[in-house]
Amino acid sequence: MVRGTLRGGRPMRGGIRPPFKKTFVPRHPFDLTLAEVVFPKVSPPVDDSALTAALLKRNQDLSPTPAEQTSLGNLVTKVQSVLDNLVVAPGDFNTCQLEEVRQVGSFKKGTILTGNNVADIVVILKTLPTKEACEALAKKVEADLMNTMKTEVLIKADQLLTTIHDKGFDIANSHSKVCIMIATLPQNIRKLEPEIHLDHKVMQSHLAAIRHTRWFEENAHHSSIKVLIRILKDLTKRFDAFSPLSPWMLDLIAHLAIMNNPSRQALPINLAFRRVFQLLSAGLFLPGSAGITDPTEPGHIRVHTAMTLEQQDICCYTSQTLLRVLAHGGYKHILGMEGNTSIVREMSVWNGVVVSPLSAVYEKPVDKKEGDIEEDIEMIEQDEVGSDDAAD
């Protein structure tokens, strides 16, 4: 290259070399399942029947009892019926207009945990979601429910309790609860005012929940995926390092671990359980990783960018520690059937093999404030999106 010109003869402005901008290329971490053809096994397969039985037993323990399912299902059916009637025939109720009612969340997906008898319903309003409209809708639904339940014999403990909050309102009895989450039409989002209406970010998250549920019903209906999701949800409750993983992240990683393989057939639950820890240990949710692209959002958004850099690091090295414990037969401690969560903080011994917990790698810059770090992350994400679009 001649000074003052670019390759191809085009002169540079003022004869100064333009600053070099490094192109970000996200890469997928090493995945033994996808690379099995290149790295064939040299030893016979390990007998995983004990792990498979433990996973199925743990799933059974985490699944709601028939009584819980019946109680929650009955309440959901009644609330759904009342809301559907308001969509079709609102009568003299004109405080707000309902466009659509959709069930979302774990109950709809079939991944609910025992002891958490909560179902979610999103109500999309044609009108703007004012706080007064939310309160009026809550009172209307409660009144209609009481009218439909007049013929039922209720004890005092079974009386309905309505609670209004910043996302909508809840209707609960002594056994179950239904969360009514308010949303509005997408074209109304830009018209919302913070002092009068519900938060626009909350509205967008409720609309996203509908997209998530629709995608799950179309792509992740396999029973093994639901079993794995239920087990992963329990891990996020017992291990603090996994608590930043949202239910949507768990849905996607469970679908990836079971369905994304050369045969395109569902992997056995034991192999998928190991694969989750292998992927997280290899850096699936670390900066620079291709991660998992959100299939319901435009712009190639990778779901793990919602986590902070510190959370991504903790999730990775905790998975590495648990993967070593799993490799030496400590699956009962991971599943919560024995022991406790101290295996990620203290040294443990498995059949004569010492497993020492790993420590953090990421260090928060001392010369930068939290806001500056968030700006850097946002700039990185923008570069990532730009490079993805260029690749397409």
Find how far residue 243's CA is from the centre of its chain: 11
Dihedral sign for Cα 92, 98, 99, 100, please.
negative
Residue 92: both structure tokens together: 């003299």
The helix (H) or strand (E) run that includes residue 355 is strand 353-355
| Helix (H/G/I), strand (E/B), else coil: 124 | strand
Per-residue pLDDT of the chain (392 residues; tens, 9 = 90+): 444 444 444 544 555 665 666 677 788 899 989 988 888 888 887 788 999 999 999 999 999 999 999 999 999 999 999 999 999 998 888 889 999 999 999 999 999 999 999 999 999 999 999 999 999 999 999 999 988 877 665 544 457 889 999 999 999 988 899 999 999 999 999 999 988 999 999 999 999 999 999 999 999 989 999 999 999 999 999 999 999 999 999 999 999 999 999 988 999 999 999 999 999 999 999 999 999 999 999 988 999 999 999 999 999 999 999 999 999 999 999 999 998 889 999 999 998 999 999 999 998 887 655 555 555 555 555 555 444 444 44
Q: How far is the C-alpha of 224 from the C-alpha of 277, rounded, in Å?
A: 17
- What pLDDT does residue 16 have? 60
- What pLDDT does residue 363 have? 87
Residue 306: phi, psi to the nearest 5? -75, -15
Domains detected in the chain:
49-57+222-391 (1.10.1410.40), 90-217 (3.30.460.10)
| CB distance 283 to 250 below 8 Å | no
Tell me the CB-side half-sphere exposure of residue 238, using CA atoms within 13 A: 19
The residue behind tokens 């007049």 is 150
| CB distance 148 to 78 below 8 Å | yes
- What pLDDT does residue 315 have? 97
Radius of gyration of the chain (CA): 25
Question: What angle, 0 to 180 degrees and rounded to 10, lies between the N-to-C axes of helices 309-327 and 269-281?
Answer: 130
Model-level pTM? 0.85
Residue type, 371: G
- What pLDDT does residue 163 have? 93
Q: Which of 216, 188, 25, 17 is nearest to 105 (CA)?
A: 216
